[in-house]
Structure 1
Amino acid sequence: MTGDRRPIAARDSGVMQRLAAWLILRRASANDISLLGMGAALLAGGCFALVPSLPQATWVWWLLGAALVQLRLLANLLDGMVAIGRGVASPVGELFNEVPDRVSDTTILLGLGWAAGELSLGLGAALAAMTTAYIRAVGRSAGAPSDFRGPLAKPQRMALVTLAAVWCAVTPATWSAAVPTLALWVILLGAALTAARRLTGISQALRRLH
């Protein structure tokens, strides 16, 4: 898994560098790390979906879901670092880089939509998130650099989901009932704006190339 990468400041932190080095020494597979991230996302979506059916322990499912969303992001960060650190280019690395991310976004946002009682809104947010990635991938295949601009790219979407989940876990239900729905609307509209900005930026980049 090589090529231009999303700029993430945490990638340069000492903790992440040491963790990546530890994985590289043990010859960890970047593709396996990508699958681990997808597994964490599937579990996160499941935790969120359990919220309405297990009201006595909603805070547990919210917090566990939030932790799993962050584990998903950690795996997304480490898979590329491990691939580059090991100097291993898998012929299917790009598939492992992209496909699990689309599954992860969809599962998490659908789970949040189920928790909010707004499954259609969760689906809309998931489709908007997928559109941002689709536009980036099409632009890259056409010869433009990968466009990771926001305002609501994957890290921001997952940060918002995490904050919403933690808020729902630690505050009374009367304070948090509308928070998942609000988070999904922000993600839907923010992802739509992100898609529009990427489409404009990629169009301009391709015109400059030709």
Structure 2
Amino acid sequence: MNEPSARRPLKIRDVKIVNSFARYLSGKNITPNQISVTSVVFAALSAGCFLLFAQNQHWWLLILAGLMIQCRLLCNLFDGMVAVEGGKSTKSGELFNDIPDRVADPLILVSAGYAIHVVSYGGELGWCAGLLAVMTAYIRTLSASIGAPVDFKGPMAKQHRMAVLTFACVFAAIEVVLQYTDYSLLIALTLIVVGCVITCIRRTISAYRFLEA
């Protein structure tokens, strides 16, 4: 795992119940790396829900997809807390901290694209969102590797992307019940694509200015 100064700033780490559960996990025979890998399992479950929705449009599959997205984020939260606050960090921890995210993001975003019924290009939009999500992380890690500060700025950092898609799952489920449409997913992925492009540009400019200063 990274040092605390290089971690994504999250206010939720200061919430008492979150700290209590992190301490509980730290006291068990559970490693941060195991938690990180589990995040991919939840991402795959979310992807499965989206793909099943693409076939039969049951509204509750969208709710399950959103729930699995949040479970994935909880894994992302607790792997770092168990590693740093729980004192279980390892030399290989950064690999497990980063690689599962690069798998989980495209799994969720691409499958969400295929779940869209209101347009014919949902799959392409999902692939675009997935690739750009990976690109935002690539620019962050590349910049840090050549001496720039670790940059988690948005507007579409990981937590922002997943928040937008989770809300879209809820709204799309309501849409399906009332109108049998899923414009919310289309709007969400469009926002994610545009936001990721802006995020990539902002992170690149910040790194350039720092390195050339």
Bin the TM-score by the shorter chain: over 0.9
Structure 1 CA distance for aligned equivalents of residues 131 and 89 of structure 2: 30
**Offset at residue 145 of structure 1 (A):** 1.7
Partner of 2:10 in structure 1? 8
The answer to whether residue 33 in structure 2 is matched with residue 31 in structure 1 is yes
* AA at the equivalent of 2:95: L
Cα gap change, 1:173 to 1:133, in 2 (>3 Å): farther
Structure 2: state its 5+ residue gaps: none
Residue number among 164, 188, 194 corresponding to 2:168 in the alignment: 164
Structure 1 CA distance for aligned equivalents of residues 140 and 2 of structure 2: 16
2:55 counterpart SS class: coil
Partner of 2:82 in structure 1? 82
Structure 1 CA distance for aligned equivalents of residues 104 and 17 of structure 2: 25
Partner of 1:21 in structure 2? 23
C-alpha offsets along residues 37-56 of structure 1, whole Å, 9 cap, x if unaligned? Answer: 1110111011011112123x
Task: Answer whether contact 2:50 2:111 (CA < 8 A) is retained.
Answer: yes
Partner of 1:195 in structure 2? 200
**Offset at residue 176 of structure 1 (A):** 4.3
Task: Answer whether contact 1:27 1:86 (CA < 8 A) is retained.
Answer: no
C-alpha offsets along residues 57-101 of structure 1, whole Å, 9 cap, x if unaligned? Answer: x21210110000000001101100000123233222111111100
Residue number among 157, 179, 190 corresponding to 2:184 in the alignment: 179
- The aligned runs of 1:1-210 (5 Å cut-off) are 1-3=1-3, 4-55=6-57, 58-117=58-117, 118-171=122-175, 172=177, 174=179, 176-208=181-213
1:52 counterpart SS class: helix
2:9 counterpart SS class: coil
* AA at the equivalent of 1:112: A
Structure 2 CA distance for aligned equivalents of residues 64 and 27 of structure 1: 28
Task: Answer whether contact 2:172 2:183 (CA < 8 A) is retained.
Answer: no
Structure 1 CA distance for aligned equivalents of residues 169 and 140 of structure 2: 28
CA RMSD across the alignment: 1.3
**Offset at residue 188 of structure 1 (A):** 0.4
Task: Answer whether contact 2:66 2:170 (CA < 8 A) is retained.
Answer: yes
Aligned positions, number: 206
* AA at the equivalent of 1:25: G
Structure 1 CA distance for aligned equivalents of residues 37 and 55 of structure 2: 28
Structure 1: state its 5+ residue gaps: none
Task: Answer whether contact 2:23 2:86 (CA < 8 A) is retained.
Answer: no
Name whichever of 83-92 and 198-207 sits farther off.
Answer: 83-92
Structure 1 segments, 4+ long, off by >4 Å, are: none
